[in-house]
Structure 1
Amino acid sequence: MRLARLLFYTQRFFRPRSLKWQLVWRLVVLQVVLLTLMIVILLAGLTIAGVIPDNYEGRAIDVLRKTVRKDDAGKLTLKEGPLLAGLRAEVPNLWFIVRDTEGNKISEGEVPRLLIDIPSSLDYINDATFVKQFGGTQTSATVQWADTAAGRVQIFTGAQGEFHYMALVSITPELFTDIILPVGGVMGLATLIVIPLVVRNAFKGMRRAATLAEKIDVEERGVRLPIEAIPTEIAPLVKAVNGALDRLDKGYERHKRFLIDAAHELRTPVAILNTRITSLPATPERARLLQDTARLSTLTDQLLDIQRLGRQTQQFTRFDLVAVARGVVVDLAPMAFAAGYEMSFEPARGELFANGDRTAVERAITNLVQNAIEHGGNAGRITIGVNSPATIEVSDEGDGVPAAEREKIFEPFYRLRPRGHGAGLGLNLVHEIMQIHGGRIELAGSDRKGACFRLVFAQA
């Protein structure tokens, strides 16, 4: 359980984090560190310059309060140790007088000449601070009552020493809790509010570029990411992406021109070849050659259809799906009968209208029927149905499409049987036609015999 929890927190800590929050917490830490250094350096500078005197009197009173004791005879004494030794080291000219309420007294060092009259008046003083100046000499002292292990005592001292870094170290906890923590907290809170807003505004251009990038598709070429309002640190990446899109578009156009030119160049020799084969005597070899040239002609027509679809700019018109499907059945019925099939045309209505390119839709239905003739097993029935709303189905009674191949058959140049006669463009062309029409092609479920392709059009 502990190991799982450790792994959970480790993954959370090391997973990619938001740039915004990385900036926030690093700025907060930097602000607190800089604020601490600034205050420490300022106090040290002012102390060295004498603007802020070292509070050795307060330190001396604190040390004396902690070390004063009474011996067995009831006399005041000091407990020797690190505290007292440290004070004497910091203040070479240490002097003090410690008195209790019973008149016992312990003293060390000599009272400065400017304060020599103060000890005789200590009976009448509660707490006080004295500062006397004569010529260029200034002397200060403090009188303070304190509760100690020896009871309540009066401490009179005027400890003055040279600057010592330990003086700053001793006040660091109070400095942190009284100044650094409140000010740093306010600055950190301001950072938590301001930085996310600043980063969000700075990345506004990136969000717009990301929105455009989501729209880039093989059919939406020419889209480029905007460089305006993009942070200068990220602009090189956006420019590189735009450059890559330029190169991809040029490569796509070269590839497309190659296919189109190849189709045009093939069309004439295929027609000549077909004419010459037709003039030969009627033999089985002549029939097979005519079949091969027909497939080659179909391939060139499909390539040119892809070209026409890619450049389609005309407005769609309203046409009758039933009439188009009936025309395809009439044209391809002899081919289907010759291949060993029965053919059935089953319109649900006498007329069913859709919007689109009549010629392209006719090509889509033709490709599906030719596909059924090719893969239907040369037996059974090929059925063409027209149903509401605006749906055409072409089904056969062959082996169908294996489940592993169902997602691949609409890819260009993909063939269900590698040794088949087709080029693998028919179903891809149908898919492209349906996309242009705002519809889709579906392959019906595998619980039925054979394959059933369904064309679903947008309603007119």
Structure 2
Amino acid sequence: MSRRQPSLKWPLIIKPLILHLLALLIAFFTLLMVLVRMDSGGYYTLQTFAPIAANAVHRDNQGRLYVQRTHELDELLKVAPGAWFVAEDEQGQTVSFGNVPPTYASLIGRLRGVPFGDLRGHERGDGLAIVIRRHTGPAGKLTIMAHGETDSLTWQMAIAAHVFTLPIFVLLALVTLIATPFIVRKALAGVERIALEAKHISASRRGIRLTETAVPVEIAPLVAAVNEALDRLDDGHERQQRFIAAAAHELRTPIAILRVKIEAADDATSRSLSVEVARLATLAEQLLDLHRLDSAAHLETIHLARLAKRVVADLAPLLIQSGRTVAVVVEPHHPIQGETGAVERVLTNLVLNAAEHGGRNITVRVQGTRLEVEDDGPGIPEAERERVFEPFQRLRPRQTGAGLGLNLVRQVLERHRGHVTILDAPGGGALIRAEFPAHPAGGNLASGHPL
């Protein structure tokens, strides 16, 4: 089971969010401890009693204030039986409820000058913790001085801290979850760019390097290491190509001399060696083909029928000498665009492969944008049809040849955006089909007859 790839979401989003939460909690408890330590003690009346008291004050027909107990007031009295309040309107008229401590009795009639106030008491039941607030009730705008349910400073600070810190944390979490992915994506945009650049690196397109300046400084060493590896690969490939080209060129001269001497020989034994010399020449050309594949191609319009007849005409003497026949069948076809030399080598390799491993009769067929080479030999087993395209692979160990021909055919077809397929010939044997893309401005050409 493959290991799941790690994501940047955890280290760049979730972890900072957890750290923010811990920082807020630490700051909250530190602030709470400081406030509690600064507090001198005592209890506060909860300010929720002031609007309850204002809603319980009414006016009679003469405009005098009176208290009418409400459901909310009754519920509060169950929690704080010693609750009391004084209400004063804007004209100075007052009304009180409960036992007003003497300490605050002197404020009755003067509350209009104190619109807001909080006073603490030493004990929870001493009745001295009060709030002064202005509220509007059934009797109009009133100033309320009230003592009701009390609480300590610590709990009030804890509640206040939660009220302030919770929205801050929620906002911080939302900003982190929304903004961080965008920030990370912008920061790693260069990584996506070099990933696209890396997709264009192939054996046929060397010299491409990843842009080191487009990535963050933390990733730049990795990109630099990849570029250095690509430099080493290109250097090794260049040395290999130079060796192949030099070896192939060096082989051509002695092979050409040997061929001339054999052809000029009088005895049949020496002339029989011409087939083996032709194989050596083919091997040298195939090595050169490996080198040519990496050269820039000169594309031109190719008429497959003309090319097929020319290649077969060049190979016919050799094939006839080895006791084989070859024919060219031209059916309606289209021109293609490609490198003439490379397409000639494709057909040459296919014909020589058929002569080497096929039967006695070979047919070259031109159809559409296809080149087909058919023989009447034993054929190629379906299980081996992919393997024979690998370099230096032979269908049978004792067969002659270097095993490069079909590999070169596939490489040329891939460079021309075509494909090669191995099929069973209708009359037995193998049929190898090389199909090229049609020329953009191509049209049907006249059909011909067997050569």
Same fold per TM (> 0.5)? yes
Where does residue 100 of structure 2 map in the other structure?
A: 124
AA matched with 1:410: F
Output the aligned Cα RMSD: 3.7
The C-alpha deviation readout for 1:54-94, integer Å capped at 9, x for no partner, is: 5x6479xxxxxxxxxxxxxxxxxxxxxxxxxxxxxxxxxxx
1:278 deviates by 3.8
Separation of aligned partners in 2, 1:347 and 1:281: 39
* Equivalent residue, structure 1, for 2:364: 384
The aligned counterpart of 1:353 is 335
1:140, 1:158 within 8 Å by CA — same for their partners in 2? no
Show the counterpart of 1:190: 175
Q: For residue 212 of structure 1, what is the aligned residue in structure 2?
A: 197
Of the three residues 273, 279, 291, the one matched with 1:307 is 291
Displacement of 1:127 in angstroms is: 12
Q: 1:127 to 1:309 in 2, by over 3 A?
A: farther
Deviation at 1:262, TM superposition (A): 0.8
Q: Counterparts in 2 of 1:93-112, with a 5 A limit?
A: none
| Cα contact 2:331–2:367 (8 A) shared by 1 | yes
Where does the alignment leave 5 or more consecutive residues of structure 2 unmatched?
46-79, 83-97, 105-118, 128-146, 440-451
1:234 lines up with 2:219 in the alignment: yes
Unaligned runs of 5+ in 1: 1-10, 60-98, 102-121, 129-137, 147-153, 160-166
Look up the match of 1:250: 235
- 8 Å contact kept, 2:376–2:425: no
Q: Which has the higher contact order (CA 8 A, sep 6+)?
A: 2
User: Separation in 2 of the partners of 1:438 and 1:399?
Assistant: 30
Superposed, which structure 2 residues align to 1:26-105 within 5 Å?
26-48=15-37, 50=38, 52-53=39-40, 57=43
The alignment status of 1:367 with 2:334, answered yes or no, reads no
Matched ranges for 1:381-420 at <5 A:
381-388=361-368, 390-420=369-399
Report the TM-score when normalising by structure 2. 0.70
- Rounded to whole Å, the distance in 2 between the matches of 1:216 and 1:395 is 36
Instruction: Give the C-alpha shift of residue 416 in structure 1.
Output: 2.3
How do 1:116-195 and structure 2 match up within 5 A?
123-125=99-101, 140-142=121-123, 144=125, 174=159, 178-195=163-180
Q: Is structure 2 residue 251 aligned with structure 1 residue 266?
A: yes
Measured in 2, the distance between the counterparts of 1:293 and 1:158 equals 110
- Secondary structure of the corresponding residue to residue 400 of structure 1: coil
In structure 2, the CA distance between the partners of 1:445 and 1:145, relative to structure 1 (3 Å rule), is farther
Structure 1 157/227 Cα, relative in aligned 2: closer, same or farther at 3 Å? closer
**TM-superposed deviation, 1:391:** 1.2
1:293 to 254, 277, 292: 277
The 3-state SS of whatever aligns with 1:228 is: helix
Which residue identity lines up with residue 347 of structure 2 in the other structure?
A: I
Q: TM-score, normalised by structure 1?
A: 0.68
Q: Is the 8 A contact 2:13 2:176 kept in 1?
A: yes
1:203 is aligned to 2:188: yes
Cα 1:144–1:374 shift into 2, 3 Å = same
- Provide the secondary structure at the position in 1 that maps to 2:202: coil
Question: How far does the alpha carbon of each residue in 1:6-35 deviate from its partner, in whole angstroms, 9 at most, with x for none?
Answer: xxxxx99x8434203542111111111101
CA contact (8 A) 1:410 1:431 kept: yes
- What is the distance in 1 between the residues matched to 2:219 and 2:124? 67
Structure 1 pair 335–290 and aligned structure 2 pair: CA distance change class (3 A): closer
Which amino acid in 1 is paired with 2:303? D
Question: Closer, same or farther in 2 for the Cα pair 1:384/1:399, shift >3 Å?
Answer: same
Could you tell me which amino acid in structure 1 is paired with residue 420 of structure 2?
I
CA distance in 1, matches of 2:380, 2:18: 63
Instruction: Check whether the contact 2:373–2:432 (CA below 8 A) recurs between aligned residues.
Output: yes
- Please state how far the C-alpha of 1:301 moved relative to its aligned partner: 1.3
For the residues of structure 1 that align with 2:431 and 2:103, how far apart are their CA atoms? 106
Equivalent position to 1:324, from 284, 287, 307: 307
Q: Which amino acid letter does the alignment assign opposite residue 280 of structure 2?
A: L
SS in structure 2 opposite 1:417? Answer: coil
What is the alpha-carbon distance in structure 2 between the residues aligned to residue 157 and residue 127 of structure 1?
18
- Counterpart of 2:436 in structure 1 is 457
> Partners of 1:126 and 1:374 in 2: how far apart?
126
Report if aligned partners of 2:379, 2:428 keep a CA contact under 8 Å in 1: yes
- Look up the SS of the partner of 2:379 in the other structure: coil
CA deviation vs aligned residue, 1:140-196 (integer Å, no higher than 9, x gap):
5255599xxxxxxx999999xxxxxxx97x789747853443321111111011100
Structure 1 residue 450 displacement after superposition = 2.2
Cα deviation for residue 304 of structure 1 reads 1.7
